[in-house]
Homo-oligomer: A and B are copies of this chain.
Amino acid sequence: MKKMNMVIAQSGGPSMVINESLVGAVLEARKSAKIGKILGARHGILGILGNDYVDLRKPSVKKLEAIAETPSSALGSCRKKPDAADCRAIFEEFRKLSVGYFFYIGGNDSADAARIVAEEAEKEGYPLVVYHIPKTIDNDLRSCDHTPGFGSAARFVASAIRGDDLDNRALEGVKIDIIMGRDAGFLTAASALARVRPDDGPHLIYLPEVPFSEEKFVKDVKAAVKKFGRCVCAVSEGIRGKDGIAIGAKLGSGEKDSHGNVQMSGSGALGDALAKILKTKAGVKRVRADTFGYLQRSFPGIASKVDQAEARAAGAAAVKAALKGELSKGTIAIVREEAKKYKVAFAPVPIANAAKYTRSVPKEYIAKNGHDVTEAFLAYARPIVGELPPCEVL
């Protein structure tokens, strides 16, 4: 049996556990006699195009375990959509290096990039097994019950909102917290896990799935302030008006990546704009806005243990599936098994299932009032996020 070499890379936004998937894949590959070199391309497909690799047979298991615990993408990342010319350059590289396996860890855009590479390889007759390994804090892959990276980011969000709600109890007023999620509101919805008592925040939750109305927002906040004497709002960066255009994108720089995504994170503009609305139209004196920004995907030391284990297992599952060779272009679906106790399976499915299009928060997870989540969502998210630190009030 001829050994083939493998290339693995990371793409899209980093997460707290994307290195778990990398290490899971590398350790699994090291077990196989079918795999020769294990090459990590730096900054996704840019590393392949630029011939910039890390030899992943070299690091000790101890070092790899430390990498796994470290947030962000250890190989570096990119947001590059490959065209036909890029693919030809990639296969030229791969031929020279005898690469037979290509693994790409990322979200829907990264899955799409991997799908393009796989389809172009077929067209060109280059024999390549391509596997996408799921990752996104947005939790919006259609192929997964939930996506590695989400649980840890959700844990950050729920923790941050819990702390911020305690802060808001101490110094009352209205607090707006802007949470990541370009198209899907899962991460913003996870803020609800912060609640312990009936008067705990977040008191209002706004998802991109529900058209945002300034009038309703002002009315909701007034009602919450009347009821609680204060109000904590969890707002998705992706909220959009009836026209379907994200409000934050209108306020931002207009900067776009090669998948056509407009910049939304890395600016406090949306929070500040909403705070201004409340000061002028809701007559609230003390309004503060924080934008959780990049911390929610990269904060060290607070990852969800379940998320870490699943990210590791997804990486290993992709290598196992690629070696079995049932699918030449696949992704790993995370499937929740129907049972009282939380349990998941990792199943190889066609890569197209994860690529390009995303999923939204389903209707049964959104409260009828349009500014909260349902018990069904909490039951869905709780085991992925895990227990939070103690929270006691006087």
Residues of A within 8 A of B (CB): 10, 13-14, 16, 40, 43, 54, 59, 63, 66-67, 69-79, 159-160, 162-164, 166-167, 169-171, 175, 253, 255, 265-269, 271-272, 275, 279, 285-295, 297-302, 388-394
Contact = CB atoms under 8 A, between A and B. Distances in A.
Interface residues of chain A: helix, strand, loop or mixed (majority): loop
B300 A14 contact: no
Contact of A289 (B167, B267, B292, B300): B267
21 contacts: A40-B394, A54-B394, A66-B390, A67-B393, A72-B166, A74-B392, A75-B394, A160-B295, A163-B299, A266-B289, A266-B290, A267-B268, A267-B271, A267-B289, A268-B269, A272-B272, A288-B294, A290-B294, A291-B291, A295-B295, A300-B388
B166 A298 contact: yes
A268 B171 CA distance: 20
Enumerate the 8 nearest inter-chain pairs by beta-carbon distance, A residue then B residue, closest first.
A268-B268, A266-B288, A290-B293, A301-B389, A72-B166, A163-B298, A66-B392, A73-B170
B265 A268 contact: no
Given A76-B170, A77-B170, A290-B291, A70 B298 contact: no
A272 B269 contact: yes
B268 A163 contact: no
B389 A69 contact: yes
Nearest to A77: B170
Contacts of A298: 163-164, 166-167
A295 B295 CA distance: 10
Contact of A267 (B163, B275, B293, B302): B275
A40 B74 CA distance: 49
